[in-house]
Structures are given as C-alpha cells and as structure tokens.
Homo-oligomer: A and B are copies of this chain.
Amino acid sequence: MTIREMLIGGDLSLTPSEQRIVQLLLSEYPTSGLGTASRLAKRAAVSDPTVARLVSKLGFASFAEFQAELLAEVEKRVHSPLHMMETKRQPEASGVVPEYMASVETALRQSQSLTPLAAYEKAAQLIMEAKGSVIVLGGRFSRHVAGMLSEYLNQMRPNVRAIADLSASSFDTLADTSRKDVVVVFDYRRYQNDVISYARQAAAHDAKIILFTDQWLSPIAEVAEVSIVSGLDVASPFDTMAPAIAQAETLVAKILAVSGEKPLLRMQRLESVRKENSITLDEPVSSQ
C-alpha cells in the first residue's frame, strides 16, 4: 500500500489542519513530502508539530521514516518500465478530438487522486444534516455545474437554492445566512472575486462551506469545511469541467448511498408528478 493510497482512502480521522497537509501532499505528490518537515508545514500553513503528529497518525515512527518510505516509492516509480519509456517520444495522437478526449480522461483520473474519500463523506453529511438551506453557486463556467448539482439535491431534500448569477440582489441572501446553512461553492482557476467574496461572507456568518475547486486551490479553501479538489489540465485554452461534474455527481451518489430511503421516496414522489404532466418520455418514440 502506497502512501498515496493511505492518504486518499485514509480511514483515519484527520483534523482540519492535518487535512490541509494531506491535501498538499496529494496535490504535489510526492515531491512536497521530500523536503523537510518544516517546509511542508510552512507550505501547508500549519506548525511543524502538526506535521509530526500527522505522520505519527499515519503509522510512522518519525518524519524521517515517512520520508524514507516516500523515497522508496519514488525509486520504484523511476525504475518502472513505464518511466523508462518516457525518454521515447510519445506518438502524437492525431487530431484535436481524440486528443482533447484523452486529456479529459487524464484530468478525470488525476482528480480521483486529489480528493480523499472522507471529503465526500463529510460533504454528504453536511448537506443532508443541514437544518437551514443549502445554497449552491459557482463562477462563470462552474455555475452551470452548480445548477446541475442543485437540480440533483432538490430531488433529495427541500430548501436547496441555486444562485444562477451573482448580481447585487444575490448578495442579499447573505443577510439570512446562519450556521444552520450550507453553502456549496464551485470555484475553479480564474477564481472569481464575487464568488470568493460571497463565500467569505457566508463563512463569516458561520455557514458551513463545501468547496469544489482545482488543484491550485481557490482562496476559499481557507474558510471551507470540506474541499473537493480536481485536476483540470487539458489541451485547450479552457479548462474542462468534466471532473467537476463527475465529482458533483459522485457526491450525489454518496449521499444516496449513506442516507437510505428518505431521498429516494422524495424522488419517487417528484417523478410521479412529472409523469402526470407528461413532461418526460420513457421510451424514444418515432414521430408521425
């Protein structure tokens, strides 16, 4: 079992600052762990002892031992046949389309290793246990992902609201925000000031923040309860939102898995209403 797997699948209960370290380790794996413990601590904005406590929690006797293990992993990778091939040139995948698709696939896979499983669990819990509202919002592109997530969440619990556009009046909602509310924010590279501002203010009102962001971390991460992190690197001037969607949907799947009957019942009720009004077609029908 590699250290990465320990960090992702970790069934350890980690404290917030420990999670910060884990996040850093994962997003720059394994190099961020190969310097000194102090440097790691500084970069994760925690104190040296916190790093020491984390490695001991992970089952290592000392930071040195942890690092030795990490180094052994690097050794193994560097000598793997795959790595040997790296010197050879990769045959150019022909055409924009397969290339882009392949890069999305890479981004998706990368995303899986950037977010510890516990993050989904925590997020699911926060959403389903929120006594107040669940507010969902995002940036220029990601707000569409936010919209989709709110569509899903609406099926599973009441009081879910999506903020489609951060106009001045949207900020009014902050007045009623309290510790009972959960704010789900999507903020990816080209982090938007209005989104950041909204999140910060919501946090100041003690609302719980769930953040979806990319590997470079939106500043909102500082105030977020949970961060779900994705890799975005693709062959285009735009970043791909596919990992974001996948992660949002994964959260939905997780919620369904942990919360049993209740959301399913609500969904069935909503579905029967839809059928009554013949909004959906169950089977494709041919026209004429």
Docked-complex contact A249 and B238, CB < 8 angstroms: yes
User: Shortest distance in angstroms between A12's beta carbon and chain B's nearest beta carbon?
Assistant: 15
Does A47 sit within 8 A of B, measured CB to CB?
no
Does A242 sit within 8 A of B, measured CB to CB?
yes
**Pick the contact of A84 from B87, B110, B141, B236 — CB < 8 Å?**
B110
Interface bin, chain A: 35 or more
Bound-state CA distance A217–B164 (Å) is 30
Docked-complex contact A246 and B101, CB < 8 angstroms: yes
Contacts of A194 in B (CB 8 A): 279
Nearest B residue to A1 by beta-carbon distance? B92
Docked-complex contact B74 and A34, CB < 8 angstroms: yes
A192-228 interface bits toward B, Cβ cutoff 8 Å, 1 = contact, 0 = none:
1110100010000000000000001111001100000
Bound-state CA distance A219–B286 (Å) is 6
Does A147 sit within 8 A of B, measured CB to CB?
yes
Docked-complex contact A250 and B97, CB < 8 angstroms: yes
Contacts of A109 in B (CB 8 A): 84, 87-88, 105
Docked-complex contact A281 and B145, CB < 8 angstroms: no
Docked-complex contact B78 and A190, CB < 8 angstroms: no
Contacts of A66 in B (CB 8 A): none
Contacts of A112 in B (CB 8 A): 90, 98, 101
Bound-state CA distance A59–B202 (Å) is 51
User: Shortest distance in angstroms between A260's beta carbon and chain B's nearest beta carbon?
Assistant: 13
Contacts of A85 in B (CB 8 A): 82, 106
Interface residues of chain A, those whose CB is within 8 Å of chain B, are 4-5, 28-31, 34-35, 68, 71, 74-75, 77-78, 80-88, 90, 95-98, 100-101, 104-106, 108-113, 117, 120, 140-141, 144-145, 147-148, 151-152, 164, 190-194, 196, 200, 216-219, 222-223, 234-238, 240-243, 245-246, 249-250, 252-254, 256-257, 264, 267, 278-282, 284-287
A-B residue pairs in contact (CB < 8 Å), sample of 25: A31-B75, A77-B78, A77-B83, A77-B86, A81-B106, A82-B82, A82-B90, A85-B106, A87-B113, A90-B112, A97-B117, A97-B120, A100-B253, A101-B112, A104-B246, A104-B249, A141-B152, A147-B147, A152-B238, A164-B164, A191-B281, A193-B278, A218-B284, A219-B287, A238-B252
